[in-house]
Amino acid sequence: MKILAVHNFHRKGSASGDDQVFKSETALLESHGNTVIRYSVSNDEFDNAGAAGKIKAVFGMLWSKKNYNAVQEKIKETKPDVVHVHTFFPLLSPSVLYAAKRLDVPVVATLHDTRFVCPCATSLRGTELCNECGDGHYMRMCKYGCFKGSKAQSLIVANIFNYHRKKRSFYDQIDRYICLNDNQIRLLEEIGFDKNKITKKYNFVPDAEANATPVKVEGIPDRYVVFYGRIGEEKGVRILMKAWDKITDIPLVVMGGGPLEDEFSKWAETKDNVYYLGYTEHNKCLSIVKGAEFVVFPSIWYEGCSMVEIETMSLGKALVATDLGFSEEAVTEDYNGSKFKLGSVEGFIGKINALWNDPDKCGSMGLNARKEYETKYMPEDNYRQLMAIYESTIGK
């Protein structure tokens, strides 16, 4: 099969899950003999543009003639069986959907976030969950400065989504939606998306267990808990800090970078039992996770299908996670981990203490986590599901 894969990468050095999925999924398709044509842009293009280029790019968020024409040329040149769009915002714009549909090529879109419900893609207003814009009244974004804390930028984004809502771009220009969890499906159906066009497929990760061996890091105790990933508001970093303000006897190892890393680093320096390693090379990171008792994941937003959680399970480690989004269905209480109520610092602390103080249960949960990975998140099964989605979409 011939697939045109389209994606808007985040900035260089970003560890965003959708970037990782795009790379791993296209490689998986090629490893099975399919032809994959990649068309991508990067947000670095915006950062590196001059003032005039930035203004042009902002207007291009509504409709990018450049990317519309480029995708059409790719289709005419390569004649793909299907176009698979991952992230299109901000630079690609919804124009790439029209580019495929106007040439009668089926379009599959993976929804890595809640962008079709919340233009900011986070379903967060500050640190609180919010899906109010699912009703299409996007101008309320301006009141709260939802997009990057800016009322002016929120006005631009609101108008973009108003335009495409009226044109039904996201309803009519996509033949099949790949959702990553049940919560995404519920949110889409509530705002009128055709449930017959929605398929759930989890992400996958390569088998980390096969290559990871525990690594000893000098200065870190033999027993520890791990948090790794983006050091950002939506990942629950402030809840993590509040919990370890009260936990003084459990070592915490943290790996990753992000917008809160300076604040987090300064805070960690005041804690004798918090070890912040910053950005850590992926294989080394997984080896450190492999040596942990368990992993904490206090996210405050709707995770699509967290690569961190899947990797954790592949390594045979239990999770303590918020009962929200993907975690709600991925973590089964007292089987492969524990869940706590969104925003409950005390609930989070209670789950951490209970698991830390019961190493046998922790080990048993880790074994169950590995079984979950083998059942749901391995590459070969994911490939079969993806091909079935393509074939059913092409055959419509």
- pLDDT, tens digit, for every residue of 349-375? 999 999 999 999 999 999 999 999 999
Q: Is residue 252 part of a domain?
A: yes
Q: What pLDDT does residue 215 have?
A: 85
> How large a percentage of the chain has pLDDT more than 70?
98
What is the number of domains present in the chain?
2
185 plus 232 within the same structural domain: no
Q: Is residue 169 part of a domain?
A: no
- pLDDT, tens digit, for every residue of 176-211? 999 999 999 999 999 999 999 999 999 999 998 877
Q: Is residue 241 part of a domain?
A: yes
What is the sign of the dihedral through the CA atoms of 33, 68, 170 and 142? positive
Helices then strands, counting H and E runs in the chain, come out as 17, 14
- Let me know: does 213 contact 287? Beta carbons within 8 Å: yes
198 plus 262 within the same structural domain: no
The answer to whether residue 52 scores a pLDDT higher than 60 is yes
Give this prediction's pTM.
0.93
Q: Which domain holds residue 53?
A: 2-112+175-203+379-394
Q: Is residue 131 part of a domain?
A: no
What is the sign of the dihedral through the CA atoms of 271, 272, 278 and 280? negative
Q: Which of 141, 154, 182 is nearest to 61 (CA)?
A: 154
- pLDDT, tens digit, for every residue of 116-169? 999 999 999 988 999 999 999 999 999 999 998 899 989 999 999 999 999 999
Q: Is residue 123 part of a domain?
A: no
361 plus 307 within the same structural domain: yes
Q: What pLDDT does residue 291 have?
A: 96
**pLDDT tier at 396, thresholds 50, 70, 90:** low
The answer to whether residue 102 scores a pLDDT higher than 70 is yes
- pLDDT, tens digit, for every residue of 251-261? 999 999 999 99
Helices (H), 221-280: 237-246, 261-268
Q: What pLDDT does residue 166 have?
A: 95
27 plus 44 within the same structural domain: yes
194 plus 295 within the same structural domain: no
193 plus 218 within the same structural domain: no
Q: What is the mean pLDDT of residues 300-307?
A: 95
The answer to whether residue 13 scores a pLDDT higher than 60 is no
**Cα gap 260→300, rounded to integer Å:** 15
The answer to whether residue 10 scores a pLDDT higher than 90 is no
**Cα gap 96→80, rounded to integer Å:** 14
The answer to whether residue 54 scores a pLDDT higher than 90 is no
Q: Which residues of 239-270 are buried (b: 16+ CB within 10 A; e: fewer)?
A: bbbbbbeebeebbbbbbbbbebbeebeebbee
294 plus 212 within the same structural domain: yes
Q: What is the mean pLDDT of residues 383-394?
A: 98
- Let me know: does 148 contact 168? Beta carbons within 8 Å: no
Q: Is residue 148 part of a domain?
A: no
199 plus 277 within the same structural domain: no
Please provide the DSSP assignment of 104-161 as one string: T--EEEE--SSTTT-TTSS-EETTEE--GGGGS-TTHHHHHTTTTT-HHHHHHHHHHH
345 plus 387 within the same structural domain: no
- Let me know: does 153 contact 160? Beta carbons within 8 Å: no
**Cα gap 396→386, rounded to integer Å:** 16
Q: What pLDDT does residue 15 have?
A: 62
Assign residue 191 the CATH number of its domain: 3.40.50.2000
220 plus 331 within the same structural domain: yes
Sorted by sequence, the CB contacts under 8 Å of residue 56 that are 6+ apart come out as: 49
Q: What pLDDT does residue 12 have?
A: 66
191 plus 224 within the same structural domain: no
Q: Is residue 385 part of a domain?
A: yes
The answer to whether residue 49 scores a pLDDT higher than 80 is no
390 plus 372 within the same structural domain: no
Q: Is residue 369 part of a domain?
A: yes
